[in-house]
Amino acid sequence: MKMTPIILSGGSGTRLWPVSRKQFPKQFCDLLEKPLQTLTIERLQVYGEGLIVTSSALKVLTEKNISQNKLKISKVLYEPVGKNTAAAVALACKYLELNNRVDEIAGVFPSDALILDQQAFDSAVKTATVAANAGSVAILGIQPKTPEIGFGYIQTSNVDKKFNSAVDVLKFHEKPNLEKAKAFLADGNYFWNAGIFIFKISVMIELFKQHEPELWQKISGLKADLSNLAEIYASLKSISLDYAIMEKLKPSELKCVPCDMGWNDLGSWDALVENSQGDLVAVEVAGKGNTVFSKQNKKYGIVGANDLIIVDTADALMICKKGESQKVKDLVEKIEATDKKIVSEHVFEHRPWGEYEILCDESYFKSKVIRVEPGQQISYQSHAKRAEHWIIVKGEAVVILNDEELFRKQGEHVFIPVGAKHRIINRTNYLVEFVEVQVGTYFGEDDIVRYHDDYGRS
């Protein structure tokens, strides 16, 4: 069954804070055996090479996720700024049109949802593809298990309880209160909206022309080399695909494929607890039902407390009562008012050449552990306000210092004076790791002058 998957990868990372953050959203986090985006792309590989629409801020994470997991992706479209799902889908459709692919079937899939039943998923996609070939837009509707107030609902005509057909969509409903959610569950013809749509590309283009003509007119000005994408995106309004298109369609134009495929958007720590026991490294005394998520090398002792979710990272600790984790978003808003950095950044950062992790950050010095992947090198650079000491702790590296080439192996050191040009090169087939200690008056990442960079950074 041929289909072009369009994978939408965005998100602000607030509901699964402190593991998920704005610059490291949940689809890339080690929450399960593999990151959610990896699982999503692997699930869709059987249908063909897809394309990803994501933020330019997630470029490094996206490309590493693809290369390290050997995933098959035909194209990544990087949005200069997020403009919600209507713009993302319009961009994907325009790109496919520019490549003479309007007669293909495409599917829109969020990158950060968990689906446990691959067979049920494939069956639903097959049914939706048949409806899309007939000219409809098909949306997958998830069989609700509980009266969930955190999801939107799709109201349908009478459903075949075998879930093997596409039925008319009568109405979309926003997140309901508990009383309405209970009524939806009892009715049997209401389904959770998982944001999965399947359609013929030519049909979706016509729907944009009809219902969002201004948005499509602007997207239509996109050049084949995407060189004017930033200019176009700056003028687009921010609106979801549901509001822009789906909620305006007639039952004859929009079908729902009800399914039960073990779907979960993992939108809260409670949802994650249901699907994983986390890294439980706690010792409990007079307490029970506690779950700890941690990558820290430490023991956790819990005395006389029940049903807690404890999430520990290098720079933040979050504790909440089970059943209350939807309020983490409110917690993040309060923290962000006084500390924006801890909401958006981790102490580690992925770079095109590898990664680094901050060990200590004081007013008078800063230390990091830096890992350079095989065949990679950092930019040739200098700093105006700090000197650096590098100690190689793993592997062998070449250091360029003021155009002189130096060889350093495990246990050896090099000093980088203020203003000196320098870089480290890994010419081996294994990882190079070194500890960097900065001394000076300022340690920000913007104190860099680059003279040469393999990745086009200035």
204 within domain boundaries: yes
Q: Tell me the CATH number at 385.
A: 2.60.120.10
Shared domain check, 75 and 11: yes
Confidence of residue 297 (pLDDT cuts 50, 70, 90): confident
State how many domains the chain has: 3
Which stretches does DSSP call E strand in 178-222?
190-200
Contacts (Cβ under 8 Å, ≥6 apart) of 78: 54, 55, 56, 59
Confidence of residue 274 (pLDDT cuts 50, 70, 90): confident
Look at residue 190 and give its three-state secondary structure. Answer: strand
Shared domain check, 221 and 78: yes
Shared domain check, 218 and 83: yes
Percent of the chain with pLDDT over 90: 76
The pLDDT, as a whole number, for residue 158 is: 82
441 within domain boundaries: yes
Main-chain dihedrals φ then ψ at residue 121, nearest 5 degrees:
-65, -50
Main-chain dihedrals φ then ψ at residue 442, nearest 5 degrees:
-155, 135
What span, in angstroms and rounded, lies between the C-alpha atoms of 300 and 280? Answer: 9
What is the sign of the dihedral through the CA atoms of 308, 39, 298 and 280?
Answer: positive
What is the sign of the dihedral through the CA atoms of 59, 50, 30 and 16?
Answer: positive
Contacts (Cβ under 8 Å, ≥6 apart) of 293: 19, 31, 269, 272, 278, 279, 309, 310, 311, 312
The Cα-based distances of 62 to 56, 58, 134 in angstroms read 9, 6, 34
Last residue of a domain, one of 267, 297, 317: 267
Do residues 343 and 21 make contact, with C-beta atoms less than 8 angstroms apart? yes
Write out pLDDT tens, residues 40-97.
999 999 998 999 999 999 999 999 999 989 999 999 999 999 999 999 999 999 999 9
342 within domain boundaries: no
Shared domain check, 118 and 206: yes
Shared domain check, 263 and 327: no
Write out pLDDT tens, residues 82-121.
999 999 999 999 999 999 999 999 999 999 999 999 999 9
Write out pLDDT tens, residues 17-30.
999 999 999 999 98
Last residue of a domain, one of 267, 294, 328: 267
Shared domain check, 298 and 173: no
Percent of the chain with pLDDT over 70: 97
458 within domain boundaries: no
Do residues 289 and 306 make contact, with C-beta atoms less than 8 angstroms apart? yes
What span, in angstroms and rounded, lies between the C-alpha atoms of 83 and 35? Answer: 24
The pLDDT, as a whole number, for residue 281 is: 56
What span, in angstroms and rounded, lies between the C-alpha atoms of 78 and 260? Answer: 32
The predicted model gives 367-376 an average pLDDT of 97
Range of the domain at 406: 348-452
Shared domain check, 239 and 105: yes
The pLDDT, as a whole number, for residue 282 is: 64
Smallest Cα–Cα separation from 363: which of 436, 415, 440, 419?
A: 440
Smallest Cα–Cα separation from 261: which of 133, 163, 136?
A: 163
Shared domain check, 432 and 317: no
Shared domain check, 255 and 166: yes
Shared domain check, 383 and 285: no
Confidence of residue 122 (pLDDT cuts 50, 70, 90): very high
Q: Other CB atoms closer than 10 Å to residue 400's CB: what's the count?
A: 17
Tell how far CA 311 is from the center of its chain: 19
Last residue of a domain, one of 249, 267, 285: 267
Shared domain check, 376 and 314: no
Shared domain check, 90 and 10: yes
Mean pLDDT of the chain: 92
417 within domain boundaries: yes
The pLDDT, as a whole number, for residue 9 is: 95
253 within domain boundaries: yes
457 within domain boundaries: no
Burial 309-334 (b: 16+ CB within 10 A, else e): bbbbbeebebebebeebbebeeebee
61 within domain boundaries: yes
Do residues 64 and 350 make contact, with C-beta atoms less than 8 angstroms apart? yes
Look at residue 406 and give its three-state secondary structure. Answer: strand
pLDDT at 212 over 60: yes
pLDDT at 361 over 60: yes
What span, in angstroms and rounded, lies between the C-alpha atoms of 299 and 280? Answer: 10
- CA angle 206/210/216 to nearest 5° reads 70
The pLDDT, as a whole number, for residue 229 is: 95
Do residues 95 and 185 make contact, with C-beta atoms less than 8 angstroms apart? no
What span, in angstroms and rounded, lies between the C-alpha atoms of 287 and 304? Answer: 5
